[in-house]
Amino acid sequence: MLERYFTKPQTVDRIRSSWLGEAIERYVTWLAERGYHARCVHHRVPLLMRFAAFVQQRGVSEIDAVADHVDRFIQRQLRQRVRPCGSTATRRKYIHDIRQPIEQFLRVIRVDRQAAAGGSKAARPLTQWAPHFFAHLQDERGLSPTTVEGYATQLRSFERYVTAQCLDGPQALTPTVLDTFLAEKRTHVCARSLTSTCAALRAWLRYLYREGLVARDFSAVIEGPRTYRLSEIPRSITADEVHRTLGRIDRRSSVGKRDYAMLLLLVVYGLRAREVAALTLEDIDWHTSVLHVRARKAGHAATYPLAVEVGEGLLDYLQHGRRQSADRRLFLRTVAPHGAVSHPIVARRATHALRQAGVNVVRPGSHTLRHSCAQRLVDAEFSLKVIGDYLGHRRASSTCIYSKVDLEALRDVALGEGEALV
């Protein structure tokens, strides 16, 4: 595969002679299979060669240990940069362009090794301490794959922390270690995000104690931040801002056609990013003008009439924006790795569109447009039960937050007769 990208035999020989040469060649094959451009390979292979030489100079001879030296390598690259980064944004992008290829390379090689050993292809955190924890979540507790993956995402940050602290096993865990980790994480995330981290960490600590891997149940010392139900207002935007956001999308490109269709689904039907990403070609019934949403968060399906504007946007994307593919998912990536879009991509494209339109909202994303759909229903004086059913809420309590944005009803309460003054 290297000969496909490098014409000089000396270059191919130099790559293969590296102590990471075999892994780099497997990574190049992985990139080629997913449609990455040749210039991407030409950029990443020399970077990986420099990284391999760097870790080898530091005495590393096992691929499992190279991940600990990524930050040091980035710092060296920054020092050796001919032209210093002129701004924080430039520095951040430069670091990203180094870190992302190396971390992707390490993930690909780790998955290949796990597959060769007969293990799971999904890289799970802390498996060296509790190898059967995620099977326990799925088989014994019956959690959905989405919830299990959420636990894995939260525990990866804890894995990075204990690796940096050089803890050699669960016996090294102490309340001080846990408190320090949570205090450090609190500086980067909001209270609700930290609550999810605490929930995953408690479940993992209880499992360690149940399995006899630790002598004490440390789950009781995990104190999450105090949050209050209905303490926030949904981050919706006005109808004019919605129109401005949709109008700023450049629909001449395939990316613009796809993004416009995705955002219409978020705005008109209040779908979640995960539900948009899960749509397939079979979910659109063109004969009866019906849209089927089969993978809702609550575990049920929903059927909506296909609005004219939504149908036109989808048809434009399918005819002129969607590339030819055997994949039956509705929305596909336009750049490598080719395949269906994931729900984080849907959320990021919504964030990009809102910022491009100059819409000022806290934490812009796909849920901003979902909340805007709910706001439109509240303004149309639909009941909370109807709004909850339309949005796919499992419980009525999930819809109560929108009672705070029913301004006319709140104004009537404020201007009511009230109690007589004595």
Tell me what pLDDT residue 416 has.
64
Tokens found for residue 104: 């992707």
Q: How confident is the model at residue 422 (pLDDT cuts 50, 70, 90)?
A: very low
Give the mean pLDDT of 315-323: 96
Tell me what pLDDT residue 117 has.
56
Note the residue count of the chain: 422
Residue 223, CB-side half-sphere exposure with 13 Å CA sphere = 7
CA 248 – CA 240 distance, rounded (Å)? 12
Tell me what pLDDT residue 120 has.
46
Tell me what pLDDT residue 402 has.
80
**What per-residue string of b and e applies to 121-139 under the rule 16 or more CB within 10 Å gives b?**
eeebbbeebbeebbebbee
Measured CA angle at 204 (ends 186, 159), to 5 deg: 55
Report the predicted TM-score, pTM, of the whole model to 2 decimal places.
0.78
> How confident is the model over 214-256, as pLDDT tens digits?
999 999 999 888 877 766 777 789 999 999 999 999 999 999 9
Q: Using alpha carbons, select from 238, 235, 262, 278 the residue that is nearest to residue 353.
A: 262
**Range of weakest confidence among 187-201, 329-343, 401-415:** 401-415
Give CATH 1.10.443.10 domain extents, the chain. Answer: 239-360
Q: 397 φ, ψ to 5°?
A: -65, -25
Q: Using alpha carbons, select from 20, 98, 284 the residue that is nearest to residue 276.
A: 284
Q: Please tell me the CATH superfamily of domain 133-221, with its number.
A: Tyrosine recombinase, N-terminal domain (1.10.150.130)
Tokens found for residue 300: 């049920």
User: What is the percent of the chain with per-residue pLDDT over 90, rounded to a whole number?
Assistant: 68
Tokens found for residue 404: 């705070």
Tell me what pLDDT residue 411 has.
64
Q: How confident is the model at residue 417 (pLDDT cuts 50, 70, 90)?
A: low
Catalytic residues: 272, 297, 367, 370, 393, 402
Is the pLDDT score of 394 beyond 90? no
**Range of weakest confidence among 24-28, 90-94, 242-246, 334-338:** 334-338
Residue 318, CB-side half-sphere exposure with 13 Å CA sphere = 15
Give CATH 1.10.150.130 domain extents, the chain. Answer: 133-221
401 burial class (0-12, 13-18, 19+ CB within 10 angstroms)?
middle
Is the pLDDT score of 74 beyond 80? yes
- Return mean pLDDT, the chain: 89
Q: How confident is the model at residue 123 (pLDDT cuts 50, 70, 90)?
A: low
Is the pLDDT score of 121 beyond 50? no
Give the mean pLDDT of 132-136: 94
Residue type for position 86: G
Is the pLDDT score of 406 beyond 80? no
Tell me what pLDDT residue 414 has.
64
CA 403 – CA 280 distance, rounded (Å)? 34
Is the pLDDT score of 318 beyond 80? yes
Inter-residue contact 402 to 375 (CB < 8 Å)? yes
Give the mean pLDDT of 301-305: 94
> What CATH architecture is 239-360?
Orthogonal Bundle (1.10)
> How confident is the model over 99-114, as pLDDT tens digits?
999 999 998 988 776 6
CA 116 – CA 114 distance, rounded (Å)? 5
| Residue of higher predicted confidence among 266 and 188 | 266
Tell me what pLDDT residue 420 has.
44
Is the pLDDT score of 419 beyond 70? no
